[in-house]
Amino acid sequence: MTKAVVVEIEFNNRSNRGGVYRIGLTPQWIKYRMAIFMKYTLQSLLKQTNQNFHVFIRYTERTEGIVRAQLAKYPKLPVNIRFVADKKYEEKLRKTVGSNAYLYLVRLDCDDTYHHTFIDQLHKYKPKSSTRALINQAGYIYDSIRHRIATVSKSSPPFYTWIYKSEQYFGGLRYKTVDGHSGVIKHKHEVLTTAGKRNYMVVVHDRNTLNQRLLKRHTFIAKKTKVDAILSQYI
């Protein structure tokens, strides 16, 4: 059966919820996060060995002008990678999926990366018919401030792919999780492991304070040649 692989990235569309997310409405935050996206996440997407996928980076309509002004400072994105206003997302997604029977909805943050072969793995992998999620448990954490890297493994990290029948998804079906990303594993799932690859890399930078807490929990490789060799597989 045919499938459409779509990477869904939240940029600042959650800012409408208010609270701590409101910082995503400011020009300073958008400028900084756009630079991080271009330096890390975009490079990971551009270097995928299989380019048969689409990316939607969702932003809130309130920041349309700021987002577009920042995008204008960078080279034009390829046609399969698009920033889209949140309210227009489902319409554009429907057109993109078209007649494909299945939708593989890949989750990724706008400052993290996947291994260069990840999309190709999704196309080649044959899950069971009852599987709802493909989970990546093994990855790296990259401390971009100190240029060092460490291995990381979690049972249900925020690096997963939902598998939907397209008709059901656009009919309103959404898989629910009680405990956020950690609840994905409670659905029928398979762990995506291909030749021992670590499929994701969390990027720690100046302004993602939550991930900076992870730095205290791991033993890091700091030798530049080794760090560079690992990074070359992601960005």
The pLDDT of residue 57: 98
The pLDDT of residue 22: 81
Q: Is 147 left (phi over 0), alpha (psi -120 to 50) or beta?
A: left
Q: How far apart are CA 220 and CA 134, in angstroms?
A: 28
| 134, 194 contact by CB (below 8 A) | no
Specify the length of the chain in residues. 235
Look at the pTM and tell me if it is higher than 0.85: yes
What pLDDT, in 10s, does the model give residues 161-189? 999 999 999 999 999 998 899 999 999 99
Q: How far apart are CA 143 and CA 153, in angstroms?
A: 16
The pLDDT of residue 154: 94
CA-nearest of 168, 20, 148, 48 to 103 is 168
Q: How far apart are CA 50 and CA 223, in angstroms?
A: 30
Give the class (CATH, top level) of 3-231. Answer: alpha beta
What pLDDT, in 10s, does the model give residues 42-74? 999 999 999 999 999 999 999 999 999 999 999
The burial of 43, by beta-carbon neighbours within 10 Å (0-12 exposed, 13-18 middle, 19 or more buried), is given as middle
Would you say residue 18 has pLDDT above 70?
A: no
What pLDDT, in 10s, does the model give residues 84-109? 999 999 999 999 999 999 999 999 99
Longest Cα separation, the chain: 51
The pLDDT of residue 136: 97
Buried/exposed 6-18: b ≥16 CB within 10 Å, e otherwise: bbbbbbbbbbeee
